[in-house]
Structure 1
Amino acid sequence: MKKRTFLKNTAALAAVSMLPGSVWSMAKGKRLRTAHIGISNMGMADLKAIASHSLVDVVGLCDVDSNALATAKAMHPKAKTYADYREMLKEMSDEIDAVIVSTPDHTHAPASMLAMEKGKPVYCQKPLTHHVTEARAMKKFAADNNIITQMGIQVHSFYDYKLATHLIREGIIGKVKCVRAWSPKNWGFDGEAPEGSDPVPSTLDWNLWLGTAPEREYKKGYYHTGNWRKVLDYGCGTLGDMGVHIFDTPYNALELDVPMTIKNKCRKPTGFGFPEHNEVTYTFPQTPYTTETLKWVWYDGPGAPAKHKDLKLPNGDELPGQGAMFIGEDGRRLLLPHFMQLPKLIVDGEYKELDLSGTEHIGQPVRDYDSEGEKHYHQFVDACLGKDETSAPFDYAARLTETILLGTIAGRFPNKTLHWDAKTARFAEEEANALLDAPYREF
């Protein structure tokens, strides 16, 4: 697949109205026929959650690993199976109502765009794309062609996060001047690229796994199945994994757009893996819920976050393992643990009881992930059936993903402040613009 498929031709396709305005009307029947691209690990979780909807029929399964394909086929024996998503979308176009993309990050955009070009609603795992140019192109194409979309940030639909959003917008801590967010996970790799190669497992189509990414020899334990997030060519590091989840609620609650400046305090680039420790500082323009500018600091890697007075808790309590802290201009704070814990209000160094009046529309706290985790998926299915609207469409997901990706790019220029122009989608620092995109390998 050539990158021009959606980067060079997106505007032209939209201009000639390639797709009818009711492109997804085929899905507004009594049931939804879904095809799933990537069914290992998170892909299996996505498959189970989508299929748990009573009005879903799984008709297509695609994975480059035949073991994963066999497991999913046993669960859905009537579904057709493929190793190449391009073949599935070509052969089954008339039999599919919606597509679920749960591949490694570098295949999100190629697979999602191809599905959208065929008029299919798309649920795509986070982060939405691997490159900034892809995020902007997907956002535009989905909007121009009226396609139903949803990014896989399941906690977006959880009670605790909706509650925190409501509280912040109601002014519980006033205008927010700073957000500090963290995860001690380590989807980084500070070593050098591996040398040599190992035999490709007979169950894996390595060429299809690489897809549009650069050619590379297979090396056991470095890529498929579990460690691709650590590698520049395939993943987006810890920031692109946990960062998307933990950024989501503050980003949404504060109605942020993309940042003005980005600086990543990390080790020097190696050209292969993401840094194991990152401290990324963003500045955002003012919104109705922030001060004139908003400072946002992200910490990841073992031991994160770094100590800071903004993160000191009452009674000597320890911070939750992952989470975010909103800091108001008058010093009031709201702690949002990740995940399935209520936010905590901190005033003058003490916890204060939350006033939950007026929050009935949010629902009730749920402490069971299996039931609450399905909400985001079912919302997408219901939207495709004309019964609901998605809460994380590509219009929102692309901006959040762009913000995340700018932080990973800043990691290639450690300790240097990069200046981002949202209108032109360019850095003032020309050397950084080369990382907004990458050529696609034909495969």
Structure 2
Amino acid sequence: MKRRTFIQSSTALAATLMLPGCATSRGGSKDRLRTAHIGLGYQGTEDMRAIASHPAVDVVALCDVDSKLLTAAHAKHPQAKTFVDYRTMLREMGDEIDAVIVATPDHTHAPASLMAMEMDKPVYCQKPLAHHVSEAREMARVAREKKLVTQMGIQVHSFYDYRLATQLIQSGIVGKVHTVRAWSPKNWGYNGPAPTTSDPIPAGLDWNLWLGTAPERKYVEGRYHPSNWRQIVDYGCGTLGDMGVHIFDTPYNALQLDVPRTVMNECRPPTGYGFPENNLVTYEFPSTPFTADSLKWVWYDGPGAPAEHPELALPNGEELPDQGAVFVGEKGRLLLPHFMQEPRMIVDGAYQDITSEIAAAAQALQLGTPIRNYETESPKHYHQFVDACLGKGTCSAPFSYSARLTEVILLGTVAGRFPGQTLHWNAGSGRFDEEEANTYLEGNYRKV
């Protein structure tokens, strides 16, 4: 099923499910928010915990294709109704749900979110926002036209050090930025062949629904569900779609970037099954008020990342943080470790004292004292979504922003299909100049 058919069918389906009262779920004067949760694996459970920690939330519906995960979640919220198929949940409980939280594998983000949004439900969707560029653009369009509250699950977007770094960069601490280098040695790739055997589907797992709109494939123990799906091109987005979203977020936001003009991925030849275990992706972005005439962005991932480069050298021979980013500007470099560490300024090979600049930035944003505790800080991003649904604020990572960030990420994964080749992106048309690359901008959706 091509993109247009997918979009038309999902819209038509949602339209048939409209129920009186759905429109009130956009937010406003209500005192409580009734949430439905799709996907209850590790991240889905964390999302549920954080959302439910808001005093105004009632968890009313739970959905997962794995009965073990569903049972465990239901034990925490026994008053919630349980479902295996999110479509059934939305159809039967449309007027009892105010907002939907999506934490499925990447390939189901768009189908589930779009159905919910077409029913006028605010959506909190895990990162990356979508599996294909066409999906990300469609999700942004629907959210915009329906004026829905939306948020992508990049919790660190709301953390102290990332907001601080954004303020420092925009205040001109390193001047105009000409290069960003970012990295993660995490390996969500797989260089091996596709399996030729299969295993019995575990009791309690609806494998057909897990596959969803993705191509049909035999179940293999430990290869897909519950955790290794990120490695596989049909379901995940590799390391770029996992850590890349988090680490790209602050430089992307701070520099007010849009989408790139070009992208190239230096990696092994594509297999059509797993993502490369190492990627070196280079983007070129048009200028913004905070960059030079153009911006070069280099991403390194996989075992051993990043490769050595003078712009990544730290004073006194120090090792780089395990993950992070460096802004390279006309006045020096700003190192931003990932995560919960203060940014550090480097000029002429030496660290600079930027205590006063950090104090000024923190005061400007009213950040208060740094709190570097994930358990206490993570819920803030979720609570921001809940409050926005209740008409008490706005979201910092709505789909209008996160769809563009996701598009950047996904262009890098598409470039992995054409190693060493520079692809030219037309933001207006949403197409590459290289026609062969456009094949990978949308999915061939299976009917379920």
Same fold (TM over 0.5): yes
TM range (shorter): over 0.9
1:236 aligns to 2:237 (yes or no): yes
Measured in 1, the distance between the counterparts of 2:424 and 2:7 equals 23
One-letter amino acid of the structure 1 residue matched with residue 427 of structure 2? A
Deviation digits for residues 402-426 of structure 1, max 9, x if unmatched? 0000000000000000000000111
Deviation digits for residues 117-148 of structure 1, max 9, x if unmatched? 11100000000000000001110110011010
Identical columns (%): 66
Deviation digits for residues 352-402 of structure 1, max 9, x if unmatched? 122222422233211111010111000000000011100000000100000
Aligned residue-pair number: 439
Deviation digits for residues 202-240 of structure 1, max 9, x if unmatched? 021000000000000001111001100000000000000
- TM-score under structure 1 length normalisation: 0.96
Secondary structure of residue in 2 paired with 1:435: helix
Report the alpha carbon displacement of residue 23 of structure 1 after superposing the two structures with TM. Answer: 5.2
One-letter amino acid of the structure 1 residue matched with residue 112 of structure 2? A
Secondary structure of residue in 2 paired with 1:264: strand
Preserved CA contact (<8 Å) 1:10 1:141: no
Q: 1:359 aligns with which of 362, 368, 373?
A: 362
Deviation digits for residues 166-195 of structure 1, max 9, x if unmatched? 000000000000000000000000000011
Could you list the runs of 5+ residues in structure 1 that have no partner in the other structure? none
Equivalences for residues 31-70 of structure 1 within 5 A: 31-70=32-71
- Cα 1:314–1:339 change in 2 (3 A) is same
Preserved CA contact (<8 Å) 2:101 2:125: yes
Measured in 2, the distance between the counterparts of 1:420 and 1:261 equals 6
Measured in 2, the distance between the counterparts of 1:189 and 1:268 equals 12
- TM-score under structure 2 length normalisation: 0.95
Report the alpha carbon displacement of residue 104 of structure 1 after superposing the two structures with TM. Answer: 0.2
- Cα 1:178–1:10 change in 2 (3 A) is farther
Preserved CA contact (<8 Å) 1:189 1:275: yes
Residue in 2 aligned with 1:417?
A: 422
Secondary structure of residue in 1 paired with 2:58: strand
Residue in 1 aligned with 2:342?
A: 342
Measured in 2, the distance between the counterparts of 1:92 and 1:9 equals 20
Residue in 2 aligned with 1:83?
A: 84
Residue in 1 aligned with 2:396?
A: 391
Measured in 2, the distance between the counterparts of 1:364 and 1:171 equals 23
Measured in 2, the distance between the counterparts of 1:94 and 1:24 equals 9
Measured in 2, the distance between the counterparts of 1:6 and 1:345 equals 48
Measured in 1, the distance between the counterparts of 2:417 and 2:2 equals 26
Residue in 2 aligned with 1:323?
A: 324
Measured in 1, the distance between the counterparts of 2:352 and 2:115 equals 50
1:437 aligns to 2:442 (yes or no): yes
1:172 aligns to 2:177 (yes or no): no
Measured in 1, the distance between the counterparts of 2:326 and 2:438 equals 31
Measured in 1, the distance between the counterparts of 2:295 and 2:27 equals 43
Which consecutive segments of 4 or more residues in structure 1 shift more than 6 A?
Answer: 9-13, 18-22
Preserved CA contact (<8 Å) 2:190 2:275: yes
Measured in 2, the distance between the counterparts of 1:365 and 1:88 equals 41
Deviation digits for residues 51-84 of structure 1, max 9, x if unmatched? 1111100000000010000000000000000000
Preserved CA contact (<8 Å) 2:285 2:294: yes
Two-structure CA RMSD over aligned residues (Å): 2.0
Equivalences for residues 109-188 of structure 1 within 5 A: 109-188=110-189
One-letter amino acid of the structure 2 residue matched with residue 337 of structure 1? P
Report the alpha carbon displacement of residue 265 of structure 1 after superposing the two structures with TM. Answer: 0.4
Moved more, 182-191 or 366-375: 366-375
Measured in 2, the distance between the counterparts of 1:273 and 1:174 equals 40
Secondary structure of residue in 2 paired with 1:110: helix
Residue in 1 aligned with 2:282?
A: 281
Secondary structure of residue in 2 paired with 1:7: helix
Secondary structure of residue in 1 paired with 2:392: coil
Report the alpha carbon displacement of residue 24 of structure 1 after superposing the two structures with TM. Answer: 3.3
Secondary structure of residue in 1 paired with 2:136: helix
- Cα 1:326–1:58 change in 2 (3 A) is same
- Cα 1:412–1:3 change in 2 (3 A) is closer
Measured in 1, the distance between the counterparts of 2:392 and 2:128 equals 26
1:313 aligns to 2:318 (yes or no): no
Measured in 1, the distance between the counterparts of 2:22 and 2:216 equals 39
Preserved CA contact (<8 Å) 1:10 1:137: no
Measured in 1, the distance between the counterparts of 2:224 and 2:26 equals 39
Could you list the runs of 5+ residues in structure 2 that have no partner in the other structure? none
Secondary structure of residue in 2 paired with 1:284: strand
